[in-house]
Amino acid sequence: MEILTAPADYAPRADLLTGKTIVVTGAGDGIGRAAALSYAQHGATIILLGRTGHKLEAVYDEIEAAGGPRPGFIELDLATAAEENYQTLSDNLATEFPYLDGLLHNAGILGDRRPIESAGYASWQQVMQVNVNAQFLLTRYLLPQLQGAPAASIVFTSSGVGRTGRAYWGAYAASKFATEGFMQVLASELENTSKVRVNSLNPGATNTSMRRTAYPAETPTDNPAPQDIMPAYLFLMGDDSAGITGMAFDAQ
């Protein structure tokens, strides 16, 4: 698999995302929170999607306080949501936002880090539900609105272990390989028939709660903060990446 990066000196315009409406999953914390704030700072109306209401409210307030466009807000637990919840979500969104310019699939969970021989099926299923099945359902039900936009971008979040497997990364690694596969299939299906581009992005080691859980012995501040890796997130979401689809990117 060929891995690309955003142009090294990429400097997004201040109004890069003005007029665009973008859904960000897992927008309450970590990289998703940074992406929501950064996209809003560059002019986008953000639909904040996540499972913890008070975290989403804090991001909502931060965007409003900074003078950004008033965000939308969807509280949804991707581990337990049923298919009809996604249909309802899509119908409700469509009344206010008839089309969408972007979808950042960012929400994810780590699951258990242990050998396959002792891995639990319930934990395996939960990782697949949040990291893979929920992405399928959200994409499936938001695709009409994305296809209605003049040009839209879907960004999937990958990982180093979604490109090369590594011991003890179990369901998480498998879920990220599935994410890459789903990205490629969707990109191929949409390549000649719509203006929706589809790519994957590996943030790389980033100082978030997930990273601190996965690597408790690390000094957290040795890794970049989520806001430091935003140039790649902006590049893939804005029109500067127009025409690029089906590709795997690294943010660092």
Tally of helices (H runs) and strands (E runs) in the chain: 8, 8
Regarding 52 and contact with ligand NAP (CB under 6 A), the answer is: yes
The structure tokens 């299923």 sit at 125
Regarding 197 and contact with ligand NAP (CB under 6 A), the answer is: no
Min dist CB 106 to ligand NAP, Å, is 5
Regarding 170 and contact with ligand NAP (CB under 6 A), the answer is: no
List C-alpha distances in Å: 206 to 105, 131, 167, 243, 245.
Answer: 17, 18, 20, 28, 25
Do residues 234 and 14 lie in contact, with contact meaning Cβ atoms separated by under 8 Å?
A: no
Min dist CB 64 to ligand NAP, Å, is 19
State whether the Cα torsion 17-22-24-27 is positive or negative: positive
Regarding 55 and contact with ligand NAP (CB under 6 A), the answer is: yes
Q: Find the length of the chain.
A: 252
Min dist CB 195 to ligand NAP, Å, is 26
Min dist CB 52 to ligand NAP, Å, is 3
Regarding 218 and contact with ligand NAP (CB under 6 A), the answer is: no
Min dist CB 205 to ligand NAP, Å, is 5
Structure tokens at 31: 């990289």
Residue, CB closest to ligand NAP: 30
CA 106 distance to own-chain centroid: 3
Regarding 211 and contact with ligand NAP (CB under 6 A), the answer is: yes
Choose the catalytic residue: 86, 141, 172, 233. 172
> Toward ligand NAP, which CB reaches closer, 151 or 214?
214
CA atoms within 13 A on the CB side of 183: 31
Please confirm, yes or no, whether 172 is among the known catalytic residues. Answer: yes
- Phi/psi of residue 225, each to 5°? -75, 155
> Toward ligand NAP, which CB reaches closer, 87 or 209?
209
One character per residue 102-141, x = contact with ligand NAP (rule: CB under 6 A): ----xxxx--------------------x-----------
Strands of the chain (E only): list them: 3-5, 21-25, 45-50, 72-75, 102-105, 152-157, 196-202, 248-250
* Span near ligand NAP by CB under 6 A; candidates 23-31, 83-91, 180-188, 241-249: 23-31
- Contact residues for ligand NAP (CB under 6 A)? 26, 28-32, 50-52, 55, 77-79, 106-109, 130, 157, 159, 202-203, 205-206, 208-211
